[in-house]
Structure 1
């Protein structure tokens, strides 16, 4: 977890300084680490949060450099991964619950993105696939504010 935090902090410094390539590299490394260690971290909530923060930071970076479709890709990939985790019976219950809890924010992130930047093919596919009966109730009642970074 400490290595992931260092990567995110370095990415955030580069982001704040407008060094987009360097920020992207740090965020991509953080995402890769979060994916590799997803099922291995002691704290399931921290594992899921690391994955979500990494994806959302990459989405924010894509928006900053004028690539909203890239942002949509990261936001949708994040939410889809969490939904797969929620539905994966082979995962530990605590990890599945953490994925469900964070899916509220990832769903809100997609909805807020579409409201602010418009729909893209990936957001349309994701939202069309999520009929109200398919989305876990807790995830559908997500608060609209996103506090990642």
Structure 2
């Protein structure tokens, strides 16, 4: 009688494979975006965002893990902007900035992740600021900017 042996992939291998899946989804999204197929790009960027959300705080390459989420959300926001879908654009920008701000304050998250979240939040803050400049009525974006301002004022870790 033969039995199959199954090996679990190491977390590092799974992470590397997931990062490669993320890169593929982003590349496909970028290709669709470049062809002005914004609806098509959204499908790929959503997949990339889903993968990035699973990787957050779980990969060895901390900057890659955080950048994956930031890039996916910002690319989604750009695609929504081209379709004139302001609410969805703002939602993506807010979601990633809020996630980073909460990560900075999360005492249960390892310090290197918190520090990287702080670094990457500078980009998400800048994108939100640009968005609010064009859409000052977007209440969630205004609130997310306030989170970012709080982070800049209190750059300490407990």
Q: TM-score, normalised by structure 2?
A: 0.80
Tell me, in whole angstroms, the C-alpha distance in 1 between the residues paired with 2:132 and 2:28.
29
2:51 maps to which residue? 33
Any unmatched runs of 5+ in structure 2?
1-18
Q: For 1:100, which of 118, 128, 152 is the aligned residue?
A: 118
TM-superposed deviation, 1:48: 0.4
Tell me the secondary structure at the aligned position of residue 109 of structure 1.
Answer: helix
Evaluate the alpha carbon distance shift between residue 44 and residue 76 of structure 1 in structure 2; reply closer, same or farther with a 3 A threshold: same
Tell me, in whole angstroms, the C-alpha distance in 1 between the residues paired with 2:41 and 2:114.
30
For 1:48-90, what per-residue CA distance to the aligned partner results, in whole angstroms no more than 9, with x for missing partners?
0000000000000110001122111110111000001011111
TM-superposed deviation, 1:137: 4.2
Q: How many equivalent pairs are there?
A: 137
Choose 1 or 2 for highest CA Rg. 2
Q: Does 2:133 align with 1:115?
A: yes
Q: TM-score, normalised by structure 1?
A: 0.84
For 1:91-131, what per-residue CA distance to the aligned partner results, in whole angstroms no more than 9, with x for missing partners?
1111111100000111111001111343312112323x438
Equivalent residues of 1:104, 1:138 under 8 A apart: no
Q: For 1:130, which of 139, 143, 147 is the aligned residue?
A: 147
Evaluate the alpha carbon distance shift between residue 131 and residue 52 of structure 1 in structure 2; reply closer, same or farther with a 3 A threshold: closer
RMSD of aligned alpha carbons: 1.8
Tell me, in whole angstroms, the C-alpha distance in 2 between the residues paired with 1:114 and 1:5.
29
Any unmatched runs of 5+ in structure 1?
140-149
